[in-house]
Structure 1
Amino acid sequence: MKRQLPKVHDLAPLMKFKKPEFDAKKRRLDAALTIEDLRRLAKRRTPKAAFDYTDGSAEAEISIGRAREAFTDIQFNPAILRDVSKVSTGWQVLGAPVSLPFGIAPTGFTRMMQTEGEIAGAHAAARAGIPFSLSTMGTASIEDVQKANPLGRNWFQLYMWKERERSMALVDRAAKAGYDTLLVTVDVPVAGARLRDKRNGMSIPPALTPGTVLNALPRPHWWIDFLTTEPLAFASLDRWSGTVAELLDTMFDPTVTFDDLAWIRDQWPGKVVVKGIQTVADAQAVVDLGVDGIVLSNHGGRQLDRAPIPFHLLPDVVREVGSDTEVLLDTGIMSGADIVAAIALGARFTLIGRAYLYGLMAGGEAGVNRAVDILAEQVERTMRLLGVTALEELSPAHVTQLTRLAPR
Structure 2
Amino acid sequence: MADTTAKTTYSKVFQKAYDFTKADEIKEMGLYPYFKPLQATDGTIVKIEGRDVIMAGSNNYLGLTNDPRTIKAAQDVIKFYGTGCTGSRYLNGTLDLHLELEEKLAVFMNKEACVLFSTGYQTNEGSIQTIADRNDIIFSDKDNHACIVVGTQVSNAKTVRYRHNDMDHLRNLLAKADPDAGKIIVSDGVFSMSGTLAKIPEMVQIKNEFGAGLYLDDAHAVGVIGEGGRGSASVFGLMDDVDLISGTFSKSFASLGGFLVGDRTVIEYIRHKSPAHIFSASMPPANVATVLKSLEILQEEPWRLQRLEEISTYMRTNLKELGFNVWSSQTPIIPVVIGEMMKCFQFWKDLFEEGVYVNAVVPPAVPRGQALVRTSYMATHTDEHLDRILDAFRTVGIKHGIIDKNGKSLIDVE
TM-score range, shorter chain: 0.3 to 0.5
**Bigger share in helix:** 1
**Bigger share in strand:** 2
TM-score (structure 1 length as normaliser): 0.32
TM-score (structure 2 length as normaliser): 0.32
- Structure ranking higher on relative contact order (CA contacts 8 Å, 6+ apart): 1
